[in-house]
């Protein structure tokens, strides 16, 4: 058994300790991917435009500091370069020769116009693993279509699936979570790890093309099959109302059904033709939940939870995110941690990975914009003071950082 607290230490051996990542990402999908790489020990150098990437300026804010940016970019170093300058591109290529991975989520075609596409960078570093994250992929008729998570979630069918699950609701829901962004980040993270493993075996680097559309589509298992096999699945996993709120419960297996029938004081359901066998029970699942709700509406949430959990049934109450601050399970797993930016400490989710031999945790430092320019230019690229001054005068770094 793994002790979560001991394996989330700020310092300790990590899976990607020797991996160096050059990060040209912004917003969520790319930034979360590279944050996970940093959590596992990678040295991630984030290249930002003068003034910083957009997420640095988006709410929630504490003064001028975005807490979302802090959460997505903690543990990375920061280098400011104006990529419109050819000298900045030359510096990037010099860095690529020293790095293992490049991750970017510009619109398709931008890296090629900059001269930083995989074909160009592979000439500098044949072992390079490069990953591009975009809305629809790097090629095809929709490749250049502008894309943010809400648009891809609408185009992919994801939001309509969510809408249909609400019953007779005529209008699609407003987007809640940026699922397309996060799913693409997770797919990119896994693909990069796989490519590094392949390189370790063969010495061969490669290019990875991750699309939010593809990533999201690959997650809609049941609903995709129902749509293309014309066998509608009407079973809905939704809230059960109580006298003072809502709970979620599910009943899939025969033992769970038997426990539920006893818990809601309807033992006769065991012989009801609608529910007695699994196939019939799945067909009439919504009716079973309606009977459960008729029972739960006369009881408080606390009472319903006590009865259902006492019966060994899967269940949970609906909570706000702020309610998780004192969650005993999250505390046990050290999943709530602290990172520090220019406005001070803030609470953030920790790395979700838990290994038995290596550590995984968010590195707590959030870099100031351009904080590591001098370190990179002098120590990594060994540029002399006159060369740095000349580049600065040419505007390669934007304003002084």
Q: Are 138 and 117 in contact (CB under 8 A)?
A: no
Q: Are 301 and 244 in contact (CB under 8 A)?
A: yes
- Domains (ranges, CATH) in the chain? 6-221+333-393 (3.40.50.10540), 240-317 (3.30.1540.10)
| Cis? peptide before 60, omega within 30° of 0 | yes
* Measured CA distances, 338 to 38, 133, 347 (Å): 16, 28, 5
Q: pTM for the full model?
A: 0.95
Strand partners, 104: 24, 132
Residues of the chain with pLDDT under 70: 400-401
Characterize the bridge pairing of strands 43-48 and 20-24. parallel
Distance CA 154, CA 212 (A): 12
Residue 400 has a pLDDT of 56
Strand partners, 339: 346
CA 59 distance to own-chain centroid: 18
Residue 401 has a pLDDT of 45
Distance CA 112, CA 175 (A): 32
Residue 11 has a pLDDT of 77
Catalytically annotated residue among 100, 117, 181, 209: 181
Characterize the bridge pairing of strands 315-317 and 336-341. unpaired
Distance CA 400, CA 282 (A): 64
What is the CA angle 375-378-379, rounded to 5?
70
Active site residue 379: no
Distance CA 189, CA 37 (A): 7
Nearest to 47 by CA among 76, 67, 86: 76
Distance CA 286, CA 232 (A): 14
For 124-173, how does the pLDDT look when each residue is reduced to its tens digit (9 = 90+)? 999 999 999 999 999 999 999 999 999 999 999 999 999 989 988 889 99
Instruction: Quote the tokens at residue 151.
Output: 């648009």
Residue 234 has a pLDDT of 85
């Amino acid at each position: 058994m793994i002790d979560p607290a001991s394996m989330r230490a700020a310092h300790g051996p990590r899976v990607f300790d020797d991996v160096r990542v050059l990060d040209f990402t912004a917003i969520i999908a790319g930034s979360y991917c590279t944050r996970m790489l940093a959590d596992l020990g990678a040295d991630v150098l984030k290249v930002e435009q003068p003034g910083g990437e957009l997420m640095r300026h988006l709410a929630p804010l504490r003064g001028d500091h975005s807490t979302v940016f802090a959460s997505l970019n903690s543990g990375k170093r920061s280098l400011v370069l104006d990529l419109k300058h050819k000298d900045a591109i030359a510096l990037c290529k010099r860095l690529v020769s020293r790095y293992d991975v490049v991750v970017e989520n510009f619109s398709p075609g931008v890296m090629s116009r900059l001269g930083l596409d995989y074909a160009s960078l592979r000439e500098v570093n044949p072992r390079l693993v490069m990953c591009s994250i975009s809305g629809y992929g790097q090629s095809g008729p929709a490749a250049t279509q502008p894309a943010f998570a809400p648009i891809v979630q609408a185009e992919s069918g994801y939001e309509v699936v969510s809408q249909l699950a609400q019953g007779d609701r005529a209008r699609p829901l407003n987007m809640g979570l940026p699922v397309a962004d996060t799913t693409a980040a997770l797919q990119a993270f896994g693909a990069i790890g796989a490519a590094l493993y392949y390189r370790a075996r063969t010495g061969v680097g490669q290019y990875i093309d991750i699309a939010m559309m593809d990533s999201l589509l690959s997650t809609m298992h049941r609903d995709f099959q129902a749509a293309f096999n014309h066998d509608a699945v009407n079973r809905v996993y939704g809230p059960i109302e109580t006298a003072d709120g809502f709970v979620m419960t599910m009943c899939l297996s025969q033992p769970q059904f038997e426990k539920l029938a006893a818990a809601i004081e309807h033992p006769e359901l065991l012989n009801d033709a609608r529910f007695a066998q699994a196939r019939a029970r799945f067909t009439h699942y919504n009716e079973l939940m309606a009977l459960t709700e008729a029972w739960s509406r006369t009881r408080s949430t606390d009472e319903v939870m006590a009865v259902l959990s006492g019966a060994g049934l899967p269940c949970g109450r609906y909570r706000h995110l702020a309610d998780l601050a004192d969650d005993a399970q999250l505390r046990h797993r050290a999943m709530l941690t602290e990172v520090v930016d220019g406005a001070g400490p803030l609470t953030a989710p920790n790395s979700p990975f838990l290994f038995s031999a290596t550590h995984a945790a968010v590195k707590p430092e959030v870099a100031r914009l351009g904080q590591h320019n001098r370190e990179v230019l002098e120590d990594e690229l060994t540029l002399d003071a006159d060369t740095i001054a000349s580049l600065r005068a040419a505007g390669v770094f934007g304003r002084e950082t």
